[in-house]
Amino acid sequence: MNRWERRAEVRRRRAAAARRAKMACLAAGSLALVPFVGGGTAVVPVALAAQQAPSVPMHDADGSVAAQTSPSPELLAIAGDAQLLAQQAGPSADVPIVPLGAPSGTGGSGAGIPAPVLAAYQRAERSLAQSAPSCHVSWALLASIGRIESGHARGGRVDATGRTLTPILGPLLNGSGGFAAIADTDGGRYDGDPVWDRAVGPMQFIPSTWAGYLGDGVQDPNNVNDSTVAAGRYLCAGGGDLNDPQQRAKAVFRYNHSDDYVRTVLLWADAYAHGVTAVPVSGSPSPMAAPVPPPAPVTHPAPGPVPPPAPPVGPVGPVLPPVGPKPPTKPPTGSPTGSPTSKPQTSGSPSSSHCATPSSTSSMPSSTTASTTPSPTC
Sign of CA dihedral 29, 35, 40, 41: negative
CB 99, CB 266: distance < 8 Å: no
Q: What is the pLDDT of residues 245-275, one digit of tens each?
A: 999 999 999 999 999 999 999 999 999 999 9
Closest by CA position to 142, among listed 158, 155, 157, 126: 126
DSSP codes of every residue in 315-362: ---PPPPPSSSPPPSSPPSS--SSS--PPPP-SSS---TTS------T
Among the listed residues 133, 140, 98, the one whose alpha carbon sits nearest the alpha carbon of residue 118: 140
Helices (H), 94-236: 115-131, 139-156, 207-211, 224-236
Of residues 230 and 12, which shows the higher confidence score?
A: 230
Question: Residue 63 burial (CB < 10 Å; 0-12/13-18/19+)?
Answer: buried
pTM of the model: 0.59
Are 279 and 172 in contact, with CB atoms under 8 Å apart? no
Does the pLDDT at position 25 exceed 50?
no
Does position 152 have pLDDT exceeding 90, yes or no? yes
pLDDT tens column, 198-225: 999 999 999 999 988 875 557 899 999 9
- What pairs with residue 223 in β-bridges? 163
**% of the chain surpassing 90 pLDDT:** 44
Beta-bridged to residue 196, according to DSSP, are: 183
DSSP state letter for 174: B
Nearest Cα residue to 363 out of 344, 332, 220, 82: 332
CB 182 within 8 A of CB 196: yes
277: part of which helix (H) or strand (E)? Answer: strand 277-279
Confidence of residue 12 (pLDDT cuts 50, 70, 90): low
Mean pLDDT for all residues in the chain: 71
Instruction: Name, in order, each residue with C-beta under 8 angstroms of 355's C-beta and a sequence gap of 6 or more.
Output: 375, 376, 377, 378
Q: How far is CA 42 from the centre of its chain?
A: 43
Assign domain 73-279 one CATH number from 1.10.3470, 1.10.530, 3.30.1760, 2.60.40: 1.10.530
Mean pLDDT of 2-9: 49
